[in-house]
Structure 1
Amino acid sequence: MMTTVSLKGAEFFAQHGYYPEEQVLGTTFIVEVDVTFDAGDESSSDELDKTVNYEYIYHLCCEEMKKPRKLLETVANTIIQQIQQRYSFAEEIIVTIKKKHPPFKGKVDHSAVTMRYIKP
Structure 2
Amino acid sequence: MLIQTVALKDVKCFALHGYYPEEQLIGHDFLVNVEVVFIPSTDTENIDKTVNYEVLNDIILLQMKNTQKMLETVVKNMLDNILDKYSFLQEATVSIKKNHPAMPGDVHQSFVQLQYKAD
Aligned to 2:76: 77
Name the structure 1 match of 2:9. 8
1:109 matched to which residue of 2?
108
Superposed counterparts of 1:40-119, under 5 Å: 42-43=41-42, 45-119=44-118
* Residue-pair matches, total: 118
Which position in structure 2 is the counterpart of 1:38? Answer: 39
TM-score by length of 2: 0.96
**Contact 2:32 2:94 survives alignment (8 Å):** yes
For residues 44 and 5 of structure 2, the distance between their equivalents in structure 1, rounded to whole angstroms, comes to 15
Give the gaps of 5 or more residues in structure 2. none
Q: List 4+ stretches of structure 1 deviating above 3 A.
A: none
Q: Residues 118, 27 of structure 1: CA spacing in aligned structure 2 closer, same or farther, 3 A cutoff?
A: same
TM-score norm. by structure 1 comes to 0.95
Q: RMSD of the TM alignment (CA)?
A: 0.9
Q: Contact 2:43 / 2:49 at 8 angstroms: preserved in 1? A: no
Q: Structure 1: which 5+ runs fail to align?
A: none
Identity rate, percent? 42
Deviation at 1:107, TM superposition (A): 1.3
